Chain A
Amino acid sequence: MRRLLVPVSAVLLLWLGCATHAFARPVTDSAGRVVEVPDRVVRVFAAGPPASTLLYVVAPDKMIGWVRAPRTEEKPFLLPATRHLPELGRLTGRGNTLSLERLLAEKPDLIIDFGTLNDTYRSLADRVQAQTGIPYLLIDGRFANTPAALRLLGRVLGVEARGEALAQEAERIFAAVDATLANIPSAERPKVYLARGPDGFESGTRGSINTEMIERVGAINPVEGLRESGGLVRVGAERLLVFAPDAIVTLDAALRDSLATRPPWSELAAVKAGRIFVAPALPFGFIDSPPSANRLIGLSWLMHKLYPGKVAGDLRAEVAAFYRLFYQVEIDGAALDRLLGGTP
């Protein structure tokens, strides 16, 4: 009997191994790579924060962990089942913090990444896939591609209906922004500066992913970089006076409170008029961090802030509805205040 055990279990294992691959279908990802994805995907690993958010939105029950564990103040805005998932680290972006062995131990059926498509990421996906045998999908992370990304992931994960519903809502938000902007002449488009970093002198140049939302709502980002596709830069205090922005967007309430009294900020019309807007950040950022589907609600928020009186609808109701549909959480008035008051 014992003699038979080894060959039988070997055959069994082989059969099981084949079985998992027997029901697979080819999926073409955004990078044009054809990936064999199992029919039934249960455990999905997201390679970076944008992918993590996209996965949460489309199929939170298939998450096996977070790139970064949710902070205490973020947890009430997330589904209870996902609040305590482990922190696994990131596989792409700036430095891997996850080893492939740890990844294998988590036994994911699929790896997804949502972001830049270039040869670096393509080759990284190919290498990880070859080394681990886990299918690795790349999804185009450009903001305009959000509806398509939601549909693609819904289809791959077997939740087409949800992917479609989310994609249609994303398209509705885009269309609403464009309809409103069509009635706002270019002379009335504000100059908006994104204040980042500990002192606010860090910003994104025109065309950067960080200021994409500001530019998408028709505002002018005064920070011009040296390259066509922007990135993060430091901006001098004096240059800020030259920019003379009509409004400032920041990610940090503490920064807003400390700016008002200090030059050059105190000299700016935007600050004198109180037009510093703190982008809400729970559970995900409204305009940045991470650059994923979470930014859709940031569009509505920015439109209401930058074009008061010209935007139809009630922001609070819109935010609550978005959280209901995308994050599957009900937020009451107090939570809305915490979220939109810019206080974490």
Chain B
Amino acid sequence: MHRSVLPALVLILAGAVVIACGVGPYPLAPGKVLALLVGAETDPAAARVVFDIRLPRVLAALLVGAALSAAGSAYQSLFRNPLVSPDILGVSSGAGLGAVLGILLGLPVLAVQLLGFAGGIATVLLVALLARALRGGADMLVLVLSGIVVGALAGAAIALVKVLADPYEQLPAITFWLLGSLSGIQRGDVLAAAPVVLIGLAPLVLLRWRIGVLGLGEEEARALGIDTVWLRGIVITAATLITAAAVAISGVVGWVGLMVPHMARMIAGPRFDRLLPVAVLLGGSFMVAVDTIARSGARIEIPLGVLTALIGGPVFVWLLVRGRPG
């Protein structure tokens, strides 16, 4: 990886944020937005649009994209499998179950988000406990299978909630949540989710070299004196925190956590310590771009999950055609 890659990616991300702040259904001249952002303009109405509505949503997209990409990268290294996405251990299904229960009970938005977050965490905790009970927690295959089982149970529970939900009021809300959207995002949502994502990112950054070694194989890592069981627990905890916080504010958004790490590997190579920052920056830029389309591309909101798959799928194929990811 060339030395200038990271600064370039930071510039791209900053550019994406600025451009996204200049685009939207509310008519504001891009120049005026730029002036607002640098503090050279104080028109209160325009300031409210940019600072209360547009910027929080752009930052939320950045946060969600970065979070899902970081979690995806960590899991792909940990499981030594490029087909793994952040919800391999059921975090999205669990978060989905928590949120749709909140909608079923008619709770306020904040409670729905908190239930989503708690549901994601609780599900992974259950998976870890189940794996430990089955095989002492050291066997990756048992962990993944436990994740599949518990994820499937959560999926069945979501389906049951859909059946019980009021078809006129709650079912549409549940459907929209499961498709993912940032349309109702508020500044408070970003301020609540950002610290959690950062707390989850910290151990991944601090332990990036060890995690990279773990990606080479269990034996090799142990030979280098790494406590693999402990490290794996840390990675899973961190990735779960990150993903649950992201999904709690955006709903279920697929593809990003699977695809962005592949894009990042083409730039940075397979080493986790190099891959992680590239994936975070790329994921943030990608999601900011996608959400800009979601909120401005049509007269109605386009669900994020739909867009990420529609855009992500072809991009992914193009990547595979250009060169095989590492």
Binding site for B on A (CB under 8 A): 49, 68, 90, 93-95, 97, 196-202, 205, 223-226, 232-239, 241-242, 251, 254, 258, 262-264, 267, 285, 288-290
**A201:B166 contact, CB within 8 angstroms:** no
Identify 21 residue pairs between A and B in the complex whose beta-carbon atoms are under 8 Å apart, listed by A's number. Answer: A93-B167, A198-B103, A198-B173, A201-B301, A202-B173, A226-B298, A226-B299, A234-B181, A234-B184, A236-B295, A236-B301, A237-B57, A237-B185, A238-B24, A238-B49, A239-B25, A239-B295, A242-B27, A263-B53, A263-B186, A264-B52
**A233:B184 contact, CB within 8 angstroms:** no
**B163:A95 contact, CB within 8 angstroms:** yes
**A234:B103 contact, CB within 8 angstroms:** no
**B169:A251 contact, CB within 8 angstroms:** yes
**B48:A225 contact, CB within 8 angstroms:** no
Binding site for A on B (CB under 8 A): 24-27, 45, 48-49, 52-54, 57, 102-103, 106-109, 112, 162-163, 166-169, 171-173, 176, 181, 183-186, 295, 298-301, 303
| Bound: A242/B303 CA distance, A | 20
**B299:A234 contact, CB within 8 angstroms:** no
Return the chain A residue nearest B103 by Cβ.
A198
| Bound: A285/B167 CA distance, A | 14
Report which of B112, B163, B300 forms a contact with A235, defined as CB distance below 8 A. Answer: B300
Residues of B within 8 A of A236 (CB): 25, 183, 295, 301
**B163:A97 contact, CB within 8 angstroms:** yes
Top 6 A-B pairs, shortest CB-CB distance:
A289-B168, A263-B52, A234-B301, A199-B184, A233-B300, A197-B173
Task: State the Cβ distance, A316 to closest chain B Cβ, in Å.
Answer: 26
| Bound: A264/B52 CA distance, A | 8
**B108:A198 contact, CB within 8 angstroms:** yes
**A198:B168 contact, CB within 8 angstroms:** no
**B52:A223 contact, CB within 8 angstroms:** no
Known contacts A196-B169, A197-B173, A233-B301, then 12 further A-B pairs from the complex at CB < 8 Å, ordered by chain A residue: A95-B163, A198-B108, A199-B184, A226-B300, A236-B301, A238-B26, A239-B26, A242-B25, A254-B106, A263-B48, A263-B186, A289-B168
**B172:A289 contact, CB within 8 angstroms:** no
Task: State the Cβ distance, B32 to closest chain A Cβ, in Å.
Answer: 15
| Bound: A329/B166 CA distance, A | 25
Residues of A within 8 A of B176 (CB): 197, 202, 234
| Bound: A254/B108 CA distance, A | 8
| Bound: A90/B166 CA distance, A | 11
Residues of B within 8 A of A262 (CB): 186
| Bound: A97/B163 CA distance, A | 7
Residues of B within 8 A of A285 (CB): 168
**A234:B300 contact, CB within 8 angstroms:** yes
| Bound: A93/B167 CA distance, A | 8
